[in-house]
Structure 1
């Protein structure tokens, strides 16, 4: 995922970086909420990462800015 984030930064115009960073911070906060419930923690974290990687691909190909 870190590689995807770096690629997203490279493909995103500097003027849109605050948006990318803001979305990343929201994702981190959302992911951290997975830590509350032991029973579903692994599934929650796995889903969070899979979903975030898909969204970062959108930043890489520019479709997140459309």
Structure 2
């Protein structure tokens, strides 16, 4: 659950919506998919490239309105 909520939060989804959607996601994905998403989140948070990609996405989202 936390992995999905964290990912949605990083994407800019409202916290309440992210929590509700995470509850739905967790019941419909495999443990393999969940592990890959967890690793992707780790990449976004811990690697310079991931942090830059996240910042670029936030800027892209801001420009798109």
Q: Flag the structure with more relative contact order, 1 or 2, with Cα contacts below 8 A and sequence separation at least 6.
A: 1
Q: Which bracket does the TM-score occupy, shorter chain normalised? A: 0.3 to 0.5
- TM, length-normalised to structure 1: 0.34
- TM, length-normalised to structure 2: 0.34
